[in-house]
Structures are given as structure tokens and as C-alpha cells.
């Protein structure tokens, strides 16, 4: 299946949505080929002689229709669902018995509520200004969805690391979600309001400056720019060094093999000695033989979706057992399995087979005037989106279908590590904001022309000020939503398992 088949393809640089400036973006500009070289689909068309506007100038021109200062607005729709109704709707189609656990995790704090309410925020973003320029979005770019993971040789990479909601859409939506989440994370830790707002301000500033840097580089250099070892100096995040070193040390030991050693036991069956998962409710539970066989059998389809050069590697592993494992905050209630595989030495590889639901952004993209991409398999959507946004991705990414439901497949605990933004000190929060803002710009620049976005964002702090004001307003709104959820739980109207 190609990226286009999966509802992906190369995102078109759109302008004109919701009253934005008309005309096409850099990816659609130019004239037919001349001379002996034809226009080749998939490559940039040749620029027409009369076309004197650069992508940077096109971005600047967008400011006339969509002033950067206008991004501070938050006008909620009259038909906006209440917090309790939104949580209930977002639980539709999930494993019913896990709904109270999901609600309980969202009730932990306003920041946790935001993490589980990507669809509600997308509903609210429909009414905000957009330039019409699109990129591959994370779709859920809150501050806790950045972190460390291992590359093919075990070296640590820092990047976005959750793509359940990925889709092509307005780049501003990711940036505003990041900014609002930083304000909420700071408030949870008791950080002064001015520092919380400064973290959002700095995140937008880092996004803007990084996009300007990428816009000036040759295309290939920009694609691979800002290596992880340069992140701290690029974003002046030296106050984070100690925390990053601790997280890195922990991540190096956070492997599937270590998980398997703790979560499995040796047993004997009719074939011989094997390892199997041990129940650890409510997070990990064994499944029936039929369910385990369905998941294991679905890995045959998965093998057809990974890069062909990985097949000899996977062929060296034997499938041992399957278990159901609860994950995340927003993902709680989705069907997610871990599959234990052992090599000839008995060393473990653990794959996660995680249900891929339709992106919660889809209905709101249509409401905002953006096209809704065709998606034939939600697992492929997640995988292609992840590969487009990350500098380096898991070499075993793929997808499959279990009992008619789409799933993504990836390594479990592939040296993953994360910074808890709600536990950062005040002097670290703005550093973390700058780092995540830069990472988001790098990710967006893989699908959107950085010259176009950089032209719009500009050199001054007008956009930084506007989005940070929006972030404070949306943080206030989220705190009110969280309070409504707590009230419903306290009155017994909404079931929740708290503190789990």
C-alpha cells in the first residue's frame, strides 16, 4: 500500500481555507516543464518566469489576511459539548470496562484532562484563525508527547513519540496544543503564572526561529538538521541538562527484554518449556487462547508492511505469548496487546500491537474547511505519519488487522524515556518549552515548506505573544472542564477509578 493509498501522500501546501490568502503554496506553484525535461509528478514543478513571489514572500503575504496577532483568539462554539459529554463521546468504541480507568486518569489534573481531550480541543480550534498552510500533524502535540527512544543501534533520539491522531492539517493546531499544555503543566507543579506563560511564549519563539533556520538551509540539510546533541545549545536549554541525563540513563535500560524479564515466567506446555506473561491487573492480563491466536496470526499481515530488509531479522524470533496491556491516558480503553518473541539465545523482543482508531481531528478538519484524507487502514495512517515527522523511526513499524480492527505494530519499550513536564522546576519549564517548540518545527518541516511557514511567522515576537495569550485562555478553559468532570465524578454521575 502506498502512502497515498493510506490517506497520506505528500501534504499539499494549502492556502485559502477559512478566509486565508488565496492561491496555492510552494508545492503546487510553477509552470509545465520546458525543453527536453518534462514535469515529473512528485518533484517540484518548474517555476514560471512571471512567478516572482518566493515561498517566503507568500508566507508574508498571508499576514494581510490572517494577522499574527489574531492567533490569541478563542471563541467557543455555541454547540460546544460539555466536558462530561466530550469524555463520554471519546470513550465510544473502547473497551467498556476500561472507561472508568480512563476517566480516572483524566481526572488526575487539568493537564491530564487535556491529554485525554484532543478531540475536544480540535473542536475548539475550528473557530480559531488558520493560515491554510498544512503539514503532517502529530494531532496530539502536548508537552508529554515528546521523549527519548532508541534508534536501530540503540542510540537515543529525542523527538515526538505519539502519533495516534496524526493527520494532514493546519500547523497552528499542533503549536497551540503544545503551548496550552505547557501552561497547564506548569500550573500543576505550582509554577508562577508568569513563568507558565513564558514557557508557552518560548515554545512558539523556538518554533519560529527553528523554522527560519530550516528555511535558509539546502533542502537535504534542512531535512536532517538539528541533531539531538545540538538541541540543548540550539534552544539554550542548559537548565534541563541534569534532568535529561537522568532520563537518558533510565531510558537506556528501558527495553522490551527488561520488561519481559519482569512480566513473564517460565512454564512447560505440551510442546516444551516456554515463557508466558503473568497477570498484573489492571494493567496487564492474560488473554484466552483464541484471542492470543488471533493476535499472533495477525502478525503474518504485519510482515507484509515492514521494510523487506527487516524480514530476516524477524524470522529469527519465535512467538511465545500474547497479553493485553493498558496504555497511556488518552489511549486507555483502546485494544492493545504485547507479544513476546524469543531468539535462539532466549533473549526477548516485545512487540506492541495497538488498536488504531480514526484520528479525532478528522471531523473538525472538515468543519474548518480542510479536506478529509481517505484512509484505507488506520494503522498505516499512524505509521506513515510517524515516519514523515520523525528524523529516525522504529525499524519495526508496521500495521495489521485483528478481528476486523486496524492496529499499528511497533517495538515495546524501545529505550523510551520521557520528561514529565508537570514535574519540572520553574527554571526548567521554559527550557523544555523551547526544546519542544524546536522539535515540533523540525517535524513539521518534513512535510510543509519551512520557507512558507517561516515567511508567515517572521522575525519579531508578534506570533509568540498571540499564541501564548491563547495558551493561557485555553488553560483556563481546560481547568473549568476538569472541574466539571470532577463534579460529575463526585456526584456519582460519572464512573471513575481514581489513582490507578
Whole-number Å distance between alpha carbons of 475 and 480: 9
Whole-number Å distance between alpha carbons of 383 and 333: 20
pLDDT digits (tens, 9 = 90+) for 80-101: 999 999 999 988 888 988 999 9
**Predicted confidence band of residue 19 (pLDDT cuts 50, 70, 90):** very low
Q: What is the pTM of this model?
A: 0.91
Whole-number Å distance between alpha carbons of 412 and 257: 9
Whole-number Å distance between alpha carbons of 408 and 378: 8
Whole-number Cα distances in Å, 61 to 123, 275, 444, 455: 28, 62, 20, 8
Torsion region of 268: left, alpha or beta (phi above 0 gives left; psi -120 to 50 gives alpha): beta
pLDDT digits (tens, 9 = 90+) for 227-276: 888 899 999 999 999 999 999 999 999 999 999 999 999 998 777 788 99
pLDDT for residue 424 is more than 90: yes
Structural domain spans, the chain:
17-252+359-396+414-490
Averaged pLDDT score across all residues of the chain: 91
Positions of E strands within 119-254: 134-137, 146-150, 156-160, 167-170
Amino acid at each position: 500500500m502506498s502512502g497515498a493509498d493510506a490517506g497520506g501522500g505528500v501534504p499539499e501546501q494549502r492556502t485559502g481555507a477559512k478566509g486565508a490568502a488565496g492561491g496555492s503554496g510552494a508545492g503546487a506553484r510553477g509552470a509545465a516543464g520546458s525543453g527536453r525535461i518534462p514535469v515529473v509528478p512528485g518533484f517540484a514543478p518548474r517555476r514560471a518566469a512571471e512567478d516572482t513571489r518566493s515561498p517566503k514572500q507568500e508566507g508574508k503575504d498571508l499576514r494581510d489576511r490572517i494577522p499574527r496577532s489574531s492567533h490569541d483568539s478563542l471563541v467557543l462554539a455555541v454547540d460546544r459539548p460539555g466536558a462530561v459529554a466530550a469524555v463520554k463521546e471519546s470513550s465510544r468504541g473502547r473497551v467498556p470496562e476500561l472507561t472508568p480507568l480512563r476517566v480516572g486518569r483524566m481526572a488526575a489534573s487539568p493537564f491530564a484532562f487535556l491529554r485525554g481531550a484532543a478531540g475536544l480541543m480540535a473542536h475548539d480550534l475550528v473557530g480559531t484563525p488558520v493560515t491554510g498552510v498544512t503539514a503532517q500533524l502529530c494531532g496530539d502535540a502536548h508537552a508529554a508527547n515528546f521523549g527519548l527512544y532508541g534508534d536501530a543501534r540503540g542510540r537515543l533520539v529525542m523527538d515526538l513519540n505519539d502519533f495516534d491522531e496524526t493527520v494532514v492539517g493546519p500547523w497552528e493546531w499542533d503549536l497551540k496544543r503544545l503551548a496550552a499544555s505547557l501552561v497547564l503543566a506548569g500550573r500543576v507543579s505550582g509554577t508562577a503564572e508568569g513563568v507558565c506563560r513564558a514557557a508557552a511564549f518560548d515554545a512558539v519563539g523556538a518554533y519560529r526561529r527553528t523554522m527560519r533556520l530550516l528555511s535558509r538551509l539546502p533542502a537535504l540539510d534542512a531535512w536532517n538538521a538539528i541533531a539531538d546533541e545540538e538541541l540543548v545549545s540550539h534552544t539554550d536549554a542548559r537548565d534541563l541538562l541534569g534532568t535529561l541525563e537522568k532520563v537518558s540513563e533510565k531510558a537506556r535500560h528501558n527495553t522490551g527484554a527488561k520488561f519481559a524479564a519482569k512480566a513473564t515466567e517460565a512454564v512447560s506446555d505440551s510442546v516444551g518449556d516456554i515463557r508466558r506473561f503473568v497477570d498484573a491487573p489492571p494493567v496487564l492480563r492474560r488473554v484466552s487462547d483464541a484471542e492470543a491466536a488471533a493476535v499472533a496470526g495477525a502478525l503474518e499481515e504485519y510482515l507484509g508492511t515492514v521494510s523487506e530488509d527487516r524480514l530476516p531479522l524477524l524470522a529469527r524470533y519465535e512467538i511465545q505469548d500474547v497479553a493485553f496491556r493498558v496504555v497511556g491516558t488518552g489511549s486507555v480503553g483502546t485494544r492493545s496487546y504485547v507479544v513476546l518473541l524469543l531468539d535462539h539465545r532466549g533473549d526477548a523482543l516485545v512487540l506492541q500491537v495497538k488498536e488504531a482508531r480514526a484520528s479525532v481531528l478528522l471531523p473538525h478538519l472538515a468543519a474548518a474547511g480542510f479536506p478529509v484524507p481517505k484512509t484505507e487502514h488506520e494503522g498505516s495512517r499512524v505509521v506513515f505519519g510517524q515516519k514523515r515527522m520523525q528524523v529516525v523511526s522504529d525499524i519495526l513499524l508496521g500495521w495489521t488487522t485483528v478481528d476486523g480492527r486496524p492496529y499499528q505494530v511497533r517495538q515495546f519499550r524501545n529505550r523510551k524515556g520521557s520528561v514529565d513536564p508537570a514535574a519540572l522546576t520553574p527554571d526548567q519549564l521554559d527550557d523544555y518549552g523551547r526544546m519542544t517548540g524546536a522539535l515540533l518545527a523540525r517535524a513539521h518541516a518534513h512535510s510543509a515548506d519551512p520557507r512558507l511557514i517561516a515567511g508567515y511567522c517572521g522575525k519579531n515576537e508578534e506570533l509568540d505573544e498571540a499564541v501564548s495569550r491563547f495558551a493561557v485562555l485555553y488553560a483556563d478553559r481546560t481547568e473549568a472542564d476538569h472541574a466539571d468532570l470532577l463534579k460529575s465524578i463526585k456526584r456519582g454521575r460519572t464512573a471513575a477509578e481514581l489513582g490507578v
